[in-house]
Amino acid sequence: MSNLSYANAEYGPWKTFLEQVDRVAPYLSEDLSKYVDTLKRPKRALIVDVPIIMDDGTIRHFEGYRVQHNLSRGPGKGGIRYHPDVEINEVMALSAWMTIKTAVVNLPFGGAKGGIRVDPRTLSPRELERLTRRYTSEISHIIGPQKDIPAPDVGTNANVMGWIMDTYSSGQGHTVTGVVTGKPVHLGGSLGRVKATGRGVFITGYEIAKKIGLSLDGAKVSVQGFGNVGSEAANLFSEYKSKIVCIQDHTGTIFNADGIDLEGLHAHVAATQGVLGFAGAKQIDNEDFWDVETDIIIPAALEGQITIERAKRLKAKMILEGANGPTYPEADDILVGRDIVVVPDVICNAGGVTVSYFEWVQDMSSFFWTEDEINERLDKLMIQAVADVWNCAADNKCTMRTAAYILACERILRARKERGIYPG
Ligand code: GLU
C-alpha cells in the first residue's frame, strides 16, 4: 500500500496501478525486486494554480498538474490531459503507466503526465490559449527536451502543443522544438503522429488476432471513444474488412449489426461534433454497449470502464486497450476466467508515444523523415514489442498485462540498480 499523504491509494486509477505492480512483483528476480517500491511513488509531483482572465474580464482559477513518475531510463514523457475529472490520483496513475509503456517498447524515456481540471469545450479558443500558456509557464522549470517532454492526451491537440512550444521557447530566448511532441507538422511535428496511436492499436490487434486464430475479415468490432485513437483504429479494422458494429462517444452510443459506414460517420461527426444522430445506425443506451455481440472491443476513451460486472457480461474474444487503464484488476481476473484475451494499454496504445519519440529524435537532429519511413519504423517496433510480450506471457503462464509489466519492470529496475541510490 502507498504511504503517500497526498494520494488516496484506496480508490481510483492509482490503486489500480499499485495492484498491477503487486501482481508483477513475484515474477521479478531477487536483485531487482528490492527496488520495486520505487514504482509505488512518483519521483516528483507538481500542483499549480492556473489563473486566467476570461473573455468577459472575470478571473478564473484552474488546477494544473505535472507528475514525473520515474526518470531512471531517461527524460519524462507523457501527455497533458484537459478534462473536468483530472485530479492528482489520476495524473499519478497516468504518469506511472507511461513509465511502464516507454519501457515495454524500450524507448529511452521515463514516465510523466500532466493535466488541468477543465472542460475545454466550455472555453473560447483565446481562453484555451491563455490557459495553456499560463500552465506551461508554471511547469516550465521542470519540463525541457532533456527533462520531461509533454504531448497530447484527452482534450488536447497539436494546436495546444504549438502554444506550449512557443511559450517555453519565449522563456528560453530561442526556439526549442524538442520540448513537446505532437506539434503541428510545420512547427517541428512528425508526420504520422496524429494517427499513430490508432495505428498501433490496430497493429497489436492484428498480430494477436493471428495468434488466437481470429480472422479480421467479417469480425465484429465495437469501439468506445471516437477521438484520435478510436476513429483511426476503426478505420484500419474496416480497411481489413472487419465490421464496426457499435460506437460510443461523449454524445451517445450507435449500433448497426451490418457495420457502420465510417465515411458517412466521419462527415456527421465533423458537422455535429459527435456520433449521436447518425442516420446510418440506431441509437442504443450507453450501458448496452457492453452487451453487444462482438468479437473485438476497443475501449479508447477513459480509464475505469471494464468493471467486474461488465467483464462478466461483455461478449468478445479480444479487448484492445486503446485507452489508458480501462480495466480494473479484478475485472482482469474475470476476463482470464472467460478466455477473453486482453492486449494491455501499455503495449496496445504505445504507438503514439513511439512516434512521439521519433518526433523528438527528428527535432534533435533537425532532419525529418517521410510518413512511409515513420510508419515502417512504427510497425516494425510494435510488431516486435507485442511478440515479446506474447512470448513472455507464454513462458511465465501469465496474462499479457503481467508479461508487459515483467519486461518493463526488469528494464526500469535494472536501470535503477545500475545507477544506484544516491548518496549510496
Ligand atoms: N498521451 C499519449 C499516451 O498516453 C501519448 C504520450 C506521448 O506521446 O508522450 O500514450
pLDDT in tens, 335-344: 999 999 999 9
CA 231 to mean position of chain CA atoms: 15
Q: Which of the four pLDDT bands, split at 50, 70 and 90, describes residue 1?
A: very low
Q: Are 118 and 131 in contact (CB under 8 A)?
A: yes
Nearest atom, ligand 1, residue 350 CA: 10
Nearest atom, ligand 1, residue 77 CA: 9
Residue tagged 503507466 (cell numbers): 97
Nearest atom, ligand 1, residue 182 CA: 8
What pLDDT score does 50 carry? 98
Q: Which of the four pLDDT bands, split at 50, 70 and 90, describes residue 6?
A: low
Question: What is the DSSP code (8-state) at residue 280?
Answer: T
Please choose, from the candidates 156, 66, 155, the residue with its C-alpha nearest in 3D space to the C-alpha of residue 112: 66
Which residues belong to the active site? 113
Phi, psi of 110 (to 5 degrees): -95, -155
Closest CA to ligand 1's atom 10:
353
User: Which cell goes with 9?
Assistant: 491509494
**Cβ burial, residue 32 (10 Å; 0-12/13-18/19+):** middle
Distance CA 386, CA 364 (A): 28
Beta bridge partners of 267: none
Nearest atom, ligand 1, residue 150 CA: 9
Mutate to test the pocket of ligand 1, among 183, 197, 321, 363 (most ligand atoms within 8 A of CB): 197
Mutate to test the pocket of ligand 1, among 66, 81, 95, 98 (most ligand atoms within 8 A of CB): 98
The string of pLDDT tens digits covering residues 228-237 is 999 999 999 9
The string of pLDDT tens digits covering residues 349-399 is 999 999 999 999 999 999 999 999 999 999 999 999 999 999 999 999 999
Pocket (CB within 6 angstroms of ligand 1): 77-79, 151, 153, 181-182, 324, 349, 352-353, 356
Closest CA to ligand 1's atom 8:
353
pTM: 0.97
Q: Give the distance (Å) from ligand 1 centre to CA of residue 310.
A: 27
> How many CB atoms within 10 Å of residue 123?
20
Share above pLDDT 90 across residues of the chain, in percent, rounded to a whole number: 97
Q: Give the distance (Å) from ligand 1 centre to CA of residue 57.
A: 34
CATH, domain 194-348, list 3.30.30.60, 3.40.50.720, 3.40.190.10, 3.40.50.1400: 3.40.50.720
Length of the chain: 424
Beta bridge partners of 222: 246, 297
The dihedral over CA atoms of 193, 196, 197, 200, expressed in degrees to the nearest 10, equals -160
The domains of the chain are located at: 41-179, 194-348
Q: Give the distance (Å) from ligand 1 centre to CA of residue 8.
A: 24
Closest CA to ligand 1's atom 9:
78
User: Which cell goes with 392?
Assistant: 513472455
What pLDDT score does 11 carry? 78
Domains 41-179 and 194-348 are alike in CATH topology: yes
The string of pLDDT tens digits covering residues 32-47 is 999 999 999 999 999 9
Q: Does domain 41-179 have CATH number 3.40.50.10860?
A: yes
Q: Give the distance (Å) from ligand 1 centre to CA of residue 151.
A: 6
Nearest atom, ligand 1, residue 81 CA: 1
Question: What is the DSSP code (8-state) at residue 190?
Answer: -
